[in-house]
Copies of this chain bind each other. A is one copy, B any other.
């Protein structure tokens, strides 16, 4: 048998330019019309690209949006470490809020919600892991489940149904309430 055929994908030059143009177009359109109303010919026109190129690369609109909206929070980024759990959680929650203020990130969450049911989506599973890490580092103090229910869940709810209520003071308010009832 011959060795690996080495597909030799092409990621630079023209392909990269198409990707960038499509990405911008998708972000704009998702913001303007909502992810459910974005079609591939629409994206192609705004990106100045042939629709066929998009069909060939992604297949359909949901896959495209799901793939492009991966402005995820880096799983490797440093987490807040001030020595105070409450402060750490507040800063961490603030990062999440700012992340989901990006329309593309919010669209990804909606897409994840729509496609969920079997398992939870990646970005939220990472958030749960991060909360666990923050709490363990502080030697406990708050159940992880409470952080999910009373910090993450309210943020997600607002991202999905009331994006305009993602205020600047939300993080400290939610975390503050988490510590108030104990």
Chain A residues within CB distance 8 Å of chain B? 33-37, 61-62, 106-107, 110-111, 113-118, 120-124, 146, 148-150, 152-154, 156-158, 160-163, 174, 177, 180-182
Contact = CB atoms under 8 A, between A and B. Distances in A.
B156 A115 contact: no
A73 B120 CA distance: 25
Contacts of A181: 177, 180-182
B34 A115 contact: yes
B34 A161 contact: no
Copies of this chain: 2
A164 to B, nearest CB: 10
A85 to B, nearest CB: 17
Given A62-B37, A124-B161, A117 B106 contact: yes
Given A36-B62, A181-B180, A154 B149 contact: yes
B34 A163 contact: no
Contact of A161 (B120, B161, B174): B120
22 contacts: A34-B114, A35-B36, A35-B117, A36-B36, A37-B62, A110-B114, A113-B160, A116-B161, A117-B161, A120-B161, A120-B162, A121-B161, A122-B161, A149-B150, A149-B174, A150-B177, A152-B157, A153-B157, A154-B154, A180-B181, A181-B181, A181-B182
